[in-house]
């Protein structure tokens, strides 16, 4: 295999790895945004209910009854996202190594 192809394969591995990590970062960003919006909405509903003299009950107050289901979903999500993130990180490191192999001085080329 020509030496330059190692660099090309390394660049592709780095690109795919970066895109996997970037996807995970975007996912975390969107979850943070959703959490903030939910807190703002709950605060708005609570203040509105208090202004009208009504008792406000948090929509998530009964989530404890589904603890096993939520734990199972969280575990599955953490495993998936960990594989995504660490797989991307491994591809980035592998891509850097392959680029070094492809750019190593004194190696035979086509």
Helices (H) and strands (E) in the chain, counts: 2, 0
Which pTM value belongs to this model? 0.71
Look at residue 68 in the predicted model and tell me its pLDDT: 83
10-residue mean pLDDT profile of the chain (110 residues): values are 84 95 94 92 87 80 72 91 94 93 74
- The span from the CA of 10 to the CA of 22, in Å, is 18
**Does an H or E element contain 55, and which?**
none
């Amino acid at each position: 295999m020509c030496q330059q192809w190692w660099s090309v394969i390394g660049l592709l591995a780095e690109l795919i790895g970066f895109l996997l990590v970037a996807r995970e970062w975007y996912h975390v960003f969107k979850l943070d945004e959703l959490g903030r919006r939910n807190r703002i909405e709950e605060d708005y509903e609570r203040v509105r209910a208090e202004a009208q003299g009504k008792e406000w009950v948090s929509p998530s107050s009964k989530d404890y009854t589904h603890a096993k289901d939520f734990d199972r979903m969280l575990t599955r999500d953490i495993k998936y996202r960990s594989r995504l993130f660490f797989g991307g990180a491994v591809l980035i490191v592998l891509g850097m190594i392959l680029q070094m192999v492809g750019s190593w001085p004194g190696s035979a080329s086509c």
